Structure 1
Amino acid sequence: MILKVISAQDILFQGEVDSVTLPGTEGEFTVLRNHASLISTLEPGTVTYHHDGRSGEVQVNGGIVDVDNNVVSVCIY
């Protein structure tokens, strides 16, 4: 699945991931390959992603996430 983390100024991350954990307004949640489509708001926190045994993270101050057809698009404030 593809993760895209973008702000108004820059693309912070774009690449293949196995999972991504997001700080949703209603609580933290994890997205895996073939997840159902969804749109959610994000609270300040950490977006954590994993791929081939490696992980990374991006700090966010809030935003929105759109999950559709194995593409996770995170637009941050």
Structure 2
Amino acid sequence: MTLEIISPNEILFKGEAEAVTMPGALGSFTVLKNHASLISVLKAGSVQYRTPGGEEISVEIGGGLVDVDNNVVSVCVY
């Protein structure tokens, strides 16, 4: 699936990811390929994702929103 992590100033990441774990307002959740469409508020914490090569990467965020649709995960953070 395609992951985009975007802040007001820059694109922090745009590429392929196998799994994305995010700090949702009601608790942490993970998105995998073919996940159902959703929109969620994110609280402060870390967005963690795994690349197809198996690399685990973590990005600290102050909060934001995520939109999941058709294997595209768009994360807008601040």
Match of residue 71 from structure 2 = 70
Identity %: 58
TM-score by length of 1: 0.97
Structure 1: which 5+ runs fail to align?
none
Distance in 1, Cα, partners of 2:76 & 2:55: 23
Match of residue 32 from structure 2 = 32
Once the two structures are superposed, the pairs formed by residues 33-72 of structure 1 within 5 Å of their partners are 33-51=33-51, 52-72=53-73
Distance in 1, Cα, partners of 2:10 & 2:54: 26
Structure 2: which 5+ runs fail to align?
none
- SS of aligned partner of 1:35: coil
Q: How many residue pairs get matched?
A: 77
TM-score by length of 2: 0.96
Q: Which runs of 4+ in 1 moved over 3 A?
A: none
